[in-house]
Structure 1
Amino acid sequence: MSKAFKTIEQQVLSQLRNDILRGNYRPGDKLRQDDVARRFEVSTTPVREAFRGLRSEGLVTIDANKGVVVKGLSVQDVAEIYELRIVLEPLLARKSVASIRPDALEAATALHEQMCRADDPHAWAALNCDFHDHLMRSEQGSRLYEMVRNLLLVAAPYVSLSIYLLPQIQLTDNEEHAQILQGYRQRDAALVEQIVRQHLQQTLEAIQDSVNEETLGSAFR
């Protein structure tokens, strides 16, 4: 797969993911390959690959008879995503402490500073994805990294929703991110693993406190 082709596939996947998570497509809606290809002005091949990506993230089902059908996420699905992150992400963080490059740590620090100034939940959530990714990108190419990265992308809209409903979460998360950065600077893998696990557990609890079936999928319209 060429680099350019992969970029098109990722762009289609990213936009469709956002459309589903923001409620533009509702559970039960059908995604037709030709319609999506026309919308993005691409061939059907990257669309087909994007559909497979959505299926791997649990956002659609693909059936030979019914086609591609939007599944969406329930509150239980969001909780499961964070339960998986709590298991996998601290392990990846621990591994990345030894391999992180100085420029990646500097970039994560700059992102943290932007997050401390951000006043929009959507912008903060996007910066949050980049922040965590920069810290763990040294492990890119591993199965563990790809699994965590996919979970991080799917979780992003619910992070922004929880901040919108409970703004104090943003301040707490910024403080915890500062602690994570300090652990990386000290090259303390055990400390980073512990802080990341606590951070994710507290984020899960905040989402569970603020997000319900009524707000889920409708707050981003």
Structure 2
Amino acid sequence: MGPGAAAGNRLAGAHGSTPDTVREALRRAISSGELAPGLQLRQDELAERFGTSRIPVREALRQLEAEGFVTILPNRGAVVSDLSIDEVVELLEIRIALECHALRLAIPAMGEMDLDEATKILRSYDREPDPAQWGAFNWTFHATLYAPCNRPRLLTMIEANYGHVGRFTRALVSRATGKERPQREHYRLLELCREGETEKAIRLLREHIEQTQKTLRSAQRQATRDAGAEG
């Protein structure tokens, strides 16, 4: 399979595995970009890494196919799914709907501990120089804001959707925008949550995610221009 040492180490930690354990480990590795789009996932190699039979691996791959992380192809088996720009933009539209709903439910339930934890995450984000790590801080911040909504199924849907989007936008958007503007918006969003300004917070969150859509489209146009120039 050859996913690289980092993915290998991550997967190797899930021994004695049930299908759920295998699925979660693979989902994390795909979402983080350690398992790249188009990579073939061989059941025998995964079973060896997880210290299990092929049955839990097969079931995990079927579940990941239902979630859109994996595609099972005739005569080739499971491969990490790829997405077009249009599909990622659609997922960002879904992200707006899910996360704005979660934030609306979460703000009235937020306590000082929730807000303080979100502040700590942003300060750590400020200190992180590596763009490859920014996506993890971004997700942790958003997840911390939504957690008080106390809707486990909604939060699971948000995490799965974010995993799809993040693996295609993380490096591209981080390089294009840096972190100054997103961080400025994060701090403002947190301030609105602290003040209980639900509608203003939701409006900012929508604009925050829409900016990612615009950046993605812009990067696509630039890539097309670059390809034309090289031709």
Matched pairs, number? 207
Q: For 1:161-210, what per-residue CA distance to the aligned partner results, in whole angstroms no more than 9, with x for missing partners? A: 124431x4411100110111011101222121111111100111112222
Does the Cα contact within 8 Å between 2:37 and 2:79 map onto a contact in 1?
no
Q: TM-score, normalised by structure 2?
A: 0.76
Which residue of structure 2 aligns with residue 180 of structure 1?
189
Does the Cα contact within 8 Å between 1:94 and 1:189 map onto a contact in 2?
yes
Q: TM-score, normalised by structure 1?
A: 0.79
Specify whether residues 90 and 164 from structure 1 end up closer, same or farther in structure 2 by C-alpha distance, changes over 3 A only: closer
Cα distance in 1 for partners of 2:84, 2:34 equals 13
Task: Name the amino acid aligned to 1:10.
Answer: E
- 1:14 is aligned, of 18, 21, 28, to 28
Pair member with larger Rg: 2
- 1:117 is aligned, of 109, 112, 127, to 127
Does the Cα contact within 8 Å between 2:98 and 2:154 map onto a contact in 1?
yes
- 1:74 is aligned, of 84, 103, 107, to 84
Structure 1 segments unaligned to the other structure (5+ residues) = 216-221
Identity %: 29
Which residue of structure 1 aligns with residue 66 of structure 2?
56
Which residue of structure 2 aligns with residue 208 of structure 1?
217
- 2:144 is aligned, of 134, 151, 157, to 134
Does the Cα contact within 8 Å between 1:118 and 1:124 map onto a contact in 2?
yes
- Secondary structure, aligned partner of 1:73: coil
1:211, CA displacement in angstroms? 4.6
Which residue of structure 1 aligns with residue 204 of structure 2?
195
The structure with higher relative contact order (CA 8 Å, sep 6+) is 1
Which residue of structure 1 aligns with residue 172 of structure 2?
162
Does the Cα contact within 8 Å between 1:60 and 1:71 map onto a contact in 2?
yes
Does the Cα contact within 8 Å between 1:59 and 1:73 map onto a contact in 2?
no
Residue range with higher mean Cα deviation, 130-139 or 155-164: 155-164
1:129, CA displacement in angstroms? 0.7
1:66, CA displacement in angstroms? 6.0
Does the Cα contact within 8 Å between 2:30 and 2:36 map onto a contact in 1?
no
Residue range with higher mean Cα deviation, 200-209 or 135-144: 135-144
Q: For 1:122-165, what per-residue CA distance to the aligned partner results, in whole angstroms no more than 9, with x for missing partners? A: 11111111111111112354432221111112222334312443
Cα distance in 2 for partners of 1:146, 1:110 equals 23
- Secondary structure, aligned partner of 1:133: helix
- 1:152 is aligned, of 162, 173, 186, to 162
Structure 2 segments unaligned to the other structure (5+ residues) = 1-16, 225-231
Cα distance in 1 for partners of 2:221, 2:159 equals 24
Q: For 1:22-74, what per-residue CA distance to the aligned partner results, in whole angstroms no more than 9, with x for missing partners? A: 56452xx5423222111333444543453244323323234687643433122
Residue range with higher mean Cα deviation, 188-197 or 174-183: 188-197
1:113, CA displacement in angstroms? 1.0
Aligned alpha-carbon RMSD (Å): 2.8
- Secondary structure, aligned partner of 1:138: helix
